[in-house]
Amino acid sequence: MPRTTNPATPRPGADRHAIPQDRWPEPARLRLEYAGRWVAWAEDGRLIADADDFEAVREAARRAGVEQPVCEWLPPIDQARTVGGA
């Protein structure tokens, strides 16, 4: 799948669910694997879809049976924030 470096901007008020990043149960490996992509998470923390843009990932999640997915754009690895380090 092609990767994108610029996220599409979701329309205002769309999918307002917000879960602090430190509470995601998925391993960091998934954040690296899907860097630069839109992802959709189920409320239990499962990754249920990924796509190049917000509308596509939301629609894919709904097709997977999740009506209110938590959608998030994961920054490319070179733009990701790091904690600690020199």
What are the angstrom distances between the C-alpha of 48 and each of 62, 81, 83, 85? 9, 24, 27, 32
Residues 6+ apart with CB under 8 A from 35: 3, 74, 75, 76, 77, 80
Is 4 a residue whose pLDDT tops 50? no
d(CA 1, CA 50): 10
Q: Are 28 and 84 in contact (CB under 8 A)?
A: no
Q: 61 — phi, psi (to 5°)?
A: -65, -45
At 13-23, the pLDDT tens digits run 444 455 555 55
At 40-65, the pLDDT tens digits run 998 888 899 999 999 999 999 999 99
**pLDDT top residue among 2 and 80:** 80
Averaged pLDDT score across all residues of the chain: 75
Q: Report the percent of the chain where pLDDT is more than 70.
A: 60
